Structure 1
Amino acid sequence: MKIATTHVQVRYAETDQMGVVHHSQYLIWCEIGRSDLIELLGFSYAKLEESGVLAPVIDVSLSYKRSVRYGETVRIDTWIDDYNGLRAVYGYEIYNEDNRLCVSGTTTHVIVDSQSFRPRSMKKQLPEWHEVYEREKKQNEERG
């Protein structure tokens, strides 16, 4: 199972008045990690969109365990958590500089036609992606 590891330095604009990262920023960091994972798997979000396909988020679940503050650098680990041919679930863990888990969660995505926004089967529309996502799902299940 491939895990993309991404490092992000916390910027002042991402924090509240107390210097703590605002909860909304973690979704942006998940997007960064997801894009890095897709590239690690050999694909590109930009090329996906150029082909007339979008991958909107249909569900988000994040669990906040400890605060991250301005000036820290976080590590975002991202992987394929689940996949069924229609929906892809990405898993995330965000760690602080002390390697302590700060946020964990998932986002669920479907692919849609960029003009009609009608859902499409990844298996049929993107067979190369489907093959890789199936492999990653299987490896994740074996991991445990």
Structure 2
Amino acid sequence: MHISENTVQVRYAETDQMGVVYHANYLIWMELGRTKLIEDLGFNYAEVEKDGILSPVVDLTISYKIPVRYGEQALVKTWVEEYDGIRITYAYEIYNQENKLAVSGQSKHVCVKKESFRPISIRRMFPDWHEAYEKAKKQANEQ
């Protein structure tokens, strides 16, 4: 399974008064992970948007386990958990500086036409991207 990894230096502005990362900032880090995964697979989401395709979140789950704090580095791991040609579920794990699991989550997306918000078939419109996700999904299922 291809797992994309990137690190985030926790900035003061991302924390609350206790020096703990504010819960909504983990969603931004998940987005960074998703973008990095897409790039690792050889694609560029900004180019897809130029073609009039968007990928809104249709479902999100997140579980907070332990805090990440100001001054630490966090590690964001991202992979394709499920894919059916239309819907994509990305999975995430965020680790604190001691390599302890701090947050886990999943986001489900559907690609849609910008002007109508009607779903599109990734399989038909982006066959190379479809093949990359199929391969990633197969690798995930073999793990």
Which TM-score band applies after superposition, normalised by the shorter structure? over 0.9
1:112-143 C-alpha deviation (Å, 9 max, x unpaired)? 00111111111112111111101110110001
State how far apart, in whole Å, the 2-side matches of 1:15 and 1:98 are: 18
State how far apart, in whole Å, the 1-side matches of 2:38 and 2:104 are: 19
Provide the residue aligned with 2:61 in structure 1: 61
TM-score (norm 2): 0.98
Aligned residue-pair number: 143
Structure 2: any 5+ residue segments left out of the alignment? none
* 1:62 Cα deviation after fit: 0.6
Provide the residue aligned with 2:115 in structure 1: 115
TM-score (norm 1): 0.97
For the aligned residue pairs, the C-alpha RMSD in angstroms reads: 0.6
State how far apart, in whole Å, the 2-side matches of 1:96 and 1:20 are: 11
1:58-101 C-alpha deviation (Å, 9 max, x unpaired)? 11101100001111100000000110111000010000111100
Higher alpha-carbon deviation: 106-115 or 124-133: 124-133
* 1:49 Cα deviation after fit: 0.4
1:52 aligns with 2:47: no
Percent identity reads 56
State how far apart, in whole Å, the 2-side matches of 1:97 and 1:25 are: 17
Provide the residue aligned with 2:14 in structure 1: 14
Provide the residue aligned with 1:133 in structure 2: 133
Provide the residue aligned with 2:78 in structure 1: 78
Runs of 4+ residues over 2 Å off in structure 1: none
